[in-house]
Amino acid sequence: MSRPHQGESAHRRTRRQFLSRSGKLAAASALAGVAIPRVHAAEDGTIRLALIGCGARGNGAVGNALSAPGGPVKLFAMADLFQDRLSASHKALSKRFGDKIDAPPERQFKGFDAYRKAIDCLRPGDVAMLTECAGFRPTHLTYAVEKGVHVFMEKPFAPDPGGVQQVIKAGEMAEKKSLKIAAGLMWRHSNARQALIRRIRDGAMGQIQLLRAYRMDPGYAMGPWNRQGSELLWQIRRRIGFLWASSGILIELMVHQVDECCWIKDGWPVEAHGIGGRTANSRDCSQNLDSYAIEYTFADGTKALVEGRYIPNCYNHFATYVHGTKCAAQFCVWGASPILTRTYKDQRIAPDFVDWKSEPEVNPWQMEWNVLLDAIRNDRPHNEAQRAAYADLASIMGRAAVHSGKTITWKEALASTFQFCPNVGSLTEDSPAPVQADDQGRYPAPIPGACSEI
């Protein structure tokens, strides 16, 4: 199967849809809050980028970086495991951005060690863009920080608690070196969501008692391995189907909304439990379940209900809601145009009961890059590593609760060093795949009561 995974295609569509809705707003506000540069990455002020992972997310992030105000930026090096993705990415970006793409063949690298070669092309003040599989993110982040360059890293940030520990340590190392780390939880840079957070903090909703988050769509079923070529590379191309490579479908999609719940509560959950399963006629060969329902509990007893379902011909929904003692709120609903946050007169979430709404949302993918590059040029503190790692850990905690059938506490998750693939940093093209298919090409799915991920 040579086409991009369905999850990647869906991500590109939603990103394009958002950009088409918010382009005018982004242009009008691109310079908002960006100071005049005084500390530059180089004598001419150019910040160089190294793109590690040339898929849809990487290409989108390059576009945001090159569109940011404040000074010149160019793509200087590229790395990927696959030559076709590397070549296609370079061609598309060159067509769109012209001479801002300065990554000739000698600075295009392929293979498991390509990330090192690309990062080695950078100077202090430049940015390593980590947009490959989450399974490799901790290894690549650690190397970038050791080399003394700033980092943008896409979500998810690690597939397991052991990887989260590495991200936290790399973030601490970056703090000591005054390096900037931006994490791809772009909704934290949403002006609409920030406005509702301010109202929540000011008491406009009263005490928050319940959060509800949904990500339901037609699904991401994977076919069997064709037993041709490298099974490892086959899995990486279909990363969303494998826990070791991507965290699996739940966290690939839901880490944003778990992070939103934690942002609203200004804290991390103390425990989680949940249920999940597959349809009786499922032919999915991946490690994912078709449905997840997680109940998180925060320190004050507040509950967050997080539900994901990935089955065709069912009700679809992508939203986060907040219920306080005074009223309810819509924190996000994907597909609305323009995207707004809003509060209601009581607990009824309906157009007739709206009593406040935010300004339309400005492109948050762009804003996260505006903030990062401004922090680099003006030496402002900017390190999202620990917050990103904790958002990932909260998501992992919920996934582990469903997969194991047990209640998982934050304390247990934070202390865990479990890894799906302990040797991920030393994989080569000749390495065996971390999980093996059965004689029907199917991979082991989690079994509650027998599975452990913490």
Q: Is residue 445 part of a domain?
A: no
Position 302 pLDDT exceeds 70: yes
Q: Based on the domain organization, do 141 and 213 belong to the same domain?
A: no
pLDDT of 226 reads: 86
pLDDT of 337 reads: 65
Q: Based on the domain organization, do 229 and 313 belong to the same domain?
A: yes
Q: Based on the domain organization, do 66 and 161 belong to the same domain?
A: yes
Three-state secondary structure call for residue 274? strand
| Mean pLDDT across 153-174 | 98
Tell me the one-letter amino acid at 420: F
Contacts of 202 (CB under 8 A, 6+ apart): none
Is cis: bond before 105, omega within 30 of 0? no
- Number of structural domains in the chain: 2
| CB < 8 Å & 24+ apart, contacts of 352-356 | 355/327, 356/199, 356/204
Provide the terminal-to-terminal Cα distance of the chain, rounded to the nearest Å: 33
Q: Is residue 330 part of a domain?
A: yes
By the 8 A CB rule, do 46 and 75 touch? no
pLDDT of 334 reads: 83
d(CA 241, CA 192): 33
Q: Based on the domain organization, do 134 and 214 belong to the same domain?
A: no
Q: Based on the domain organization, do 167 and 225 belong to the same domain?
A: no
> Is 68 or 39 the better-scoring residue by pLDDT?
68
pLDDT of 53 reads: 98
Q: What is the pLDDT of residues 350-382, one digit of tens each?
A: 999 999 999 999 999 999 999 999 999 999 999
Q: Based on the domain organization, do 253 and 341 belong to the same domain?
A: yes
For the domain that residue 328 is a member of, what is the CATH number? 3.30.360.10
d(CA 35, CA 44): 17
Q: Based on the domain organization, do 59 and 148 belong to the same domain?
A: yes
Q: Is residue 80 part of a domain?
A: yes
Position 333 pLDDT exceeds 90: no
pLDDT of 335 reads: 75
Q: Is residue 51 part of a domain?
A: yes
For the domain that residue 11 is a member of, what is the CATH number? 3.40.50.720
pLDDT of 227 reads: 87
What is the average pLDDT value for the chain, to the nearest integer?
91
| Closest to 55 measured CA to CA, from 31, 32, 94, 85 | 85
Q: Based on the domain organization, do 244 and 255 belong to the same domain?
A: yes
pLDDT of 448 reads: 95
Q: Where do runs of H (alpha helix) occur along 99-239?
A: 114-119, 137-146, 161-176, 191-201, 231-237
Q: Is residue 440 part of a domain?
A: no
Contacts of 369 (CB under 8 A, 6+ apart): 61, 64, 65, 67, 68, 152, 182
Q: What is the pLDDT of residues 199-218, one digit of tens each?
A: 999 999 999 999 999 999 99
Q: Is residue 134 part of a domain?
A: yes
Q: Based on the domain organization, do 126 and 237 belong to the same domain?
A: no
Q: What is the pLDDT of residues 276-296, one digit of tens each?
A: 999 998 999 999 999 999 999
Q: Based on the domain organization, do 373 and 358 belong to the same domain?
A: no
13's tokens: 């569509």
Contacts of 349 (CB under 8 A, 6+ apart): 321, 328, 330
Q: Based on the domain organization, do 177 and 251 belong to the same domain?
A: no
d(CA 409, CA 273): 9
Least-confidence region, from 163-167, 366-370, 447-451 = 447-451
Q: What is the pLDDT of residues 381-427, one digit of tens each?
A: 999 999 999 999 999 999 999 999 999 999 999 999 999 999 999 99
Q: What is the pLDDT of residues 7-55, one digit of tens each?
A: 444 444 454 444 444 444 444 444 344 443 334 455 679 999 999 999 9
Return the bridge partners of 210, or none. Answer: 303, 323
pLDDT of 367 reads: 98
pLDDT of 40 reads: 42
d(CA 452, CA 238): 23
pTM for the full predicted model: 0.90
By the 8 A CB rule, do 89 and 132 touch? no
Q: Based on the domain organization, do 72 and 141 belong to the same domain?
A: yes
Position 1 pLDDT exceeds 50: no
Position 6 pLDDT exceeds 60: no
pLDDT of 338 reads: 72
Q: Is residue 434 part of a domain?
A: no
Q: Is residue 215 part of a domain?
A: yes
Domain that holds residue 215: 191-362+393-421
Least-confidence region, from 28-37, 62-71, 257-266 = 28-37
Angle between helices 385-404 and 161-176 (to 10 degrees): 170
